[in-house]
């Protein structure tokens, strides 16, 4: 008898308090190999904190987090290093090194690791930039790029690392609709290649477009987990309040942000 593959990431009953404030409470979900999981929620709901937990930057107060079958809450930084090498983060701000060229930014991790000859790293850098449609900016500095280009270079850098698990923090934040659409397209192309992806966002268009499954977080609690279709059909007032605020009575509109965030 063959069982289905174990999840790549598994959170079970995860709670975390920071500075005396409960930031996450009893969060549980799995990310399967090859899945694109979207963590959806408003500002301050706790989404980025989940990514930090998965990276092992925070340890949960309660519950467990396993990545690749290893309980990362029990590992030291040294033990975490090989697990972190299997993950690449696309930061909200793109987080490029301003004093390095696009080439140096994209190849940074590979050059640091020193495992591959320079010519091979150069080839990977070019292919990664080609994938995001930016091969022509390889010699430019980050300061010469638009916000949308910087985000795409951030994705190229994650790809070049060769990590099989990509984590995105608000990949479309601050982008115009065309650039946001292009980022969604890249995520879909990576999904088609079988890359496992966790996308933290409050962008509903992106969430519904790329997600296999979604987890919705409000005030640190998981209020939904399921498919985009299931989420669209939810009638719960708090969930509808996030998906379609105008559907709520007008007297609720001013208080809605504080009801959904913490
Ligand atoms: N290091 C920290 N120390 C104390 N509180 C923190 C820390 N990091 C996050 N928080 C708090 O935890 C809550 C959730 O933050 P988090 O960044 O996870 O939210 P988010 O959903 O990603 O929001 P945004 O989309 O605005 O980034 C916020 O109230 C935030 O102030």
Query: Domains of the chain by range and CATH?
Result: 9-94+168-245 (3.40.50.300)
The residue-averaged pLDDT of 168-185 equals 88
* Chain mean position to CA 257: 23
Q: Which residues have CB under 6 Å of ligand 1? A: 18-19, 23, 41, 43-49, 170, 202, 262
Ligand 1 atom 30: the closest Cα is on which residue? Answer: 44
Q: What is the pLDDT of residues 104-156, one digit of tens each?
A: 999 998 888 888 888 999 999 999 999 888 899 999 999 999 888 898 899 89
Provide Rg for the chain, Cα atoms.
19
Given pLDDT bands bounded at 50, 70 and 90, which one contains residue 262? low
Helix axes 102-113, 118-131, angle to 10 degrees: 130
- CA-CA distance, 183 to 90, in Å (whole number)? 11
Helix (H, G, I), strand (E, B) or coil at 37: strand
* pLDDT computed for residue 259 by the predictor: 67
Q: What percent of the chain shows pLDDT beyond 90?
A: 54
The residue-averaged pLDDT of 237-259 equals 76
The residue-averaged pLDDT of 70-95 equals 87
169 Cα–ligand 1 center, Å:
12
Look over the chain and give the mean of its residue pLDDT values, rounded to a whole number.
89
* pLDDT computed for residue 102 by the predictor: 95
Q: What is the pLDDT of residues 178-198, one digit of tens each?
A: 888 988 998 998 899 999 999
Of the candidates 182, 127, 113, the one whose C-alpha atom is nearest the C-alpha of residue 151 is 182
Helix (H, G, I), strand (E, B) or coil at 131: helix
Highest averaged pLDDT of the listed ranges 153-157, 225-229, 243-247: 225-229
ipTM of the complex: 0.94
pTM for the whole thing? Answer: 0.90
In the structure encoding, which two tokens stand for residue 214, read together?
Answer: 């979604």
- CA-CA distance, 90 to 115, in Å (whole number)? 23
The residue-averaged pLDDT of 40-66 equals 93
The residue-averaged pLDDT of 172-183 equals 86
The residue-averaged pLDDT of 69-80 equals 88
58 Cα–ligand 1 center, Å:
12
47 Cα–ligand 1 center, Å:
8
């Amino acid at each position: 008898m063959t069982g289905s593959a174990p999840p790549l990431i598994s959170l079970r009953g995860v709670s975390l308090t920071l500075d005396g404030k409960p930031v996450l409470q009893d969060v549980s979900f799995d990310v399967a190999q090859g899945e694109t999981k979207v963590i959806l929620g408003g500002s301050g709901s706790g989404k980025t904190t989940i990514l930090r937990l998965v990276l092992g930057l925070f340890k949960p107060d309660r519950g467990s987090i396993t990545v690749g079958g290893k309980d990362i809450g029990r590992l030291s930084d040294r033990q975490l290093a090989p697990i972190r090498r299997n993950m690449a983060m696309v930061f909200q701000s793109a987080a490029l090194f301003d004093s390095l060229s696009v080439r140096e930014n994209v190849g940074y991790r590979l050059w640091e690791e020193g495992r591959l000859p320079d010519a091979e790293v150069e080839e990977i850098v070019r292919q990664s930039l080609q994938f995001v449609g930016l091969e022509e900016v390889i010699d430019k500095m980050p300061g010469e790029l638009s916000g949308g280009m910087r985000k795409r270079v951030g994705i190229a850098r994650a790809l070049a690392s060769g990590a099989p698990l990509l984590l995105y923090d608000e990949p479309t934040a601050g982008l115009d609709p065309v650039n946001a659409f292009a980022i969604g397209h890249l995520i879909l192309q990576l999904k088609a290649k079988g890359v496992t992806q966790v996308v933290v966002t409050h962008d509903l268009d992106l969430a519904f477009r790329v997600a296999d499954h979604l987890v919705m977080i409000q005030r640190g609690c998981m209020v939904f987990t399921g498919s985009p279709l299931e989420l669209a059909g939810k009638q719960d007032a708090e969930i509808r309040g996030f998906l379609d605020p105008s559907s709520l009575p007008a007297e609720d509109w001013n208080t809605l942000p504080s009801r959904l965030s913490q």
